[in-house]
Structure 1
Amino acid sequence: MAPQPANSNPRRAFLDIRIGDPAVRSAEEEAHARAIAFVREKASELGLGPAAPIAELEEWQKEMVMDLHAADPAWSAKGKIQLDPLAAPRGGRLVFELDTASCPKTTANFASLCTGAAGFSKTAKTKPLHFKNTPVHRIIANYIAQGGDITRGDGSGGDSIYSGAFKDESAGLKTGFAHGRGVLAMANSGKHSNTSQWFVTLTDDKTQLKKMEGKYVVFGYLVEGLGVLDELNAVGSESGTPTEQVQVWDCGVL
């Protein structure tokens, strides 16, 4: 996505979530692209037309393609091929309505971290102040999904556009979690320790939500992407370590 202009008071922000190992996905995409190119080059030998759509190959043709590829040193050296269509990427877009009226400082920080407009961290100078390509490092099934550690990626770091931790906004502490699933709040390590880490609730259980009241600044709620929350919950665990890699692969404001 192209860089987005800074917006002083955006009302909505999005996180595009990708579940699964990105290196594995990239390798599968490359193998499928090689398969398309190989079949087109060998179309006449396979009795296919010039377009040679691999999705229409019959099983005997697929076997022939694999044999031809294995017998061709030049093509084999380029890497394996994948004839079957790729499964759709898991994950999707989470769109949040930001409570800019109650939490102007918190929402400005989150929105800027979604666009990357503030440049680089002053404490971790090689790290951009940007959620893009950062992990969702903690998912407790039926409770929360947490990300936003832009400096270390494991939950031990973080930074803000204010150069470090910033104070809790009292209105956000009072908002509460009655909305249930999809509440967006700042993760913290205690009073006035907000940086870049955020979490979103995965439960409607009032007992669990009540435990968080007054401890975390609530500054938004989900308006699109409940299905993505389900997918996040599915790779959560009791310990909080996701069973698969989860990443914010893009983000921005709307």
Structure 2
Amino acid sequence: MEWDIRNEGQIAECLRHSDIVYNLVGRDYETKNFKFADVHVTGAERIAKVAADHGVQRLVHVSHLNASATSTSEYYRTKAEGEERVRSVFPNATVVRPATMFGYEDKLLNNMATWPIWWKLNFGETKIRPVHVIDVAQALANLMSTSQLTRTVSLPGPSTLTYEYLLELVASVTYRAPSRAPVVPKPIALAVARAAQMAWWPLINPDEVERRFIDDANVPGDWNVVGVCPDEVENHAITYLRRYRLAKDYPRPVLFPARPT
């Protein structure tokens, strides 16, 4: 069904007969038509308001683990503001905060396999808690059969890793030599990212550079609430990374680097 996030009538047509509505709308880069606030704040509020006006009983709003009103990233700030706007018009909403997800066509493992230089920012020391998209999807599905949760549900991955370790994992699983790309200083990375905004297709953007320096929130997971046990990235890496192997390496065994202590 066609709909526009600025068109309340079209939103209403999509959800007016629903018992539960999931808002998974978001974007990790801005365009001339949609800024972060347009999608994460006013857009989220509009969806929640239309849902409330049409008697939808439950709303699940998907945000991000690092949503924070004081973050140096506009992406994370607008995620936090969006949560507040949603609650202001739909007080019983359930807010779900997953960490960065990995899976088919993700922007984590696949991106690391193709553009490792941008994950070496901050010397690869940034901490991340990657979570399998299948686990998050199952958690969201399970919410349909639970009683209404008027709370925030955090869904981080089971382990806290670093970008450096994930880069080593990608190189090991794909049998590719570790990237020799230099560590780009933050001011230079920001300048390159600003210049990249001249292109009409999405490349790295300044806010994405900023996020490369922000550790994932150190908060406990609420997986018990949704009845899911999250899986480790190593258990699924080959599924998403095998296509980056050379033909001669396709059948070779899966090897993992030593985890940081």
TM-score normalized with structure 1 length? 0.21
Task: Specify which structure has the bigger relative contact order, considering alpha-carbon pairs within 8 angstroms and separated by 6 or more residues.
Answer: 1
Larger Rg: 1
TM-score normalized with structure 2 length? 0.21
More helix by share: 2
More strand by share: 1
